[in-house]
Amino acid sequence: MKQTNVKSYDELPLFINADTLAKVLGVSRASAYELMREKDFPSFRIGKRVLVTKENLVEWIEGRTKKGGNR
C-alpha cells in the first residue's frame, strides 16, 4: 500500500488517475481501478485514461463518510 503526502483536499490535482487515487485512499492500484469501474463512482474516460475530478472525489468521499452514508 502506497502512501501520499497529501494532507488536505486542496493539495489534490484537479484530475485524479488510478495511481493517485490508490495513494490517497491507501489501497492498491488494482482496487482503485476496480472502484473507478463501479456505477456509482464519478469517473470518466479520456481515451484510455480513467479519471475523476477532485470535486467529484471529495463529494463521493463525504457522501460515504457522513452518518448513514452508503457503505
46 pairs with which residues across the strands?
49
Burial 37-46 (b: 16+ CB within 10 A, else e): eeeeeebeee
Say whether pTM exceeds 0.85: no
Contact call for residues 36 and 57 (beta carbons, < 8 A): no
Give the model's confidence band at 23: pLDDT under 50 very low, under 70 low, under 90 confident, else very high: very high
Residue 7's pLDDT is what?
A: 80
Q: What average pLDDT is seen over the chain?
A: 90
- What pLDDT score was predicted for residue 9? 87
- Arithmetic mean of pLDDT, 42-58: 97
pLDDT of 47 reads 97
